[in-house]
Amino acid sequence: MFGKKKQSAAWIRRTHLLRADEYECSACGSRYKRPSVQCPNCGRIMRGSKHDPSWVDEAEILDIWEE
């Protein structure tokens, strides 16, 4: 057990000059055109809160989910 905290991850925005941005799962590395609340590949819940820096520290994190 890793404690009662649920595993979570975040979208890392990958910007490209010649094509659309992608969003990469910080947990499994899968990339998608659009961010979702849950990674379709590994199933982790995506969080964007700045006050929880434990899951990623160097990545550029989306503040909110843009629709």
Smallest distance from Zn ion to CB 30, Å: 5
Nearer to Zn ion, 38 or 49 (CB): 38
Residues that bind Zn ion (CB under 5 A): 25, 27-28, 30, 39, 41-42
Q: Around Cβ 10, how many Cβ atoms within 10 Å? A: 25
Nearer to Zn ion, 36 or 49 (CB): 36
Pick from 46, 43, 52, 45: nearest CA to 13: 46
Nearer to Zn ion, 10 or 25 (CB): 25
Smallest distance from Zn ion to CB 41, Å: 5
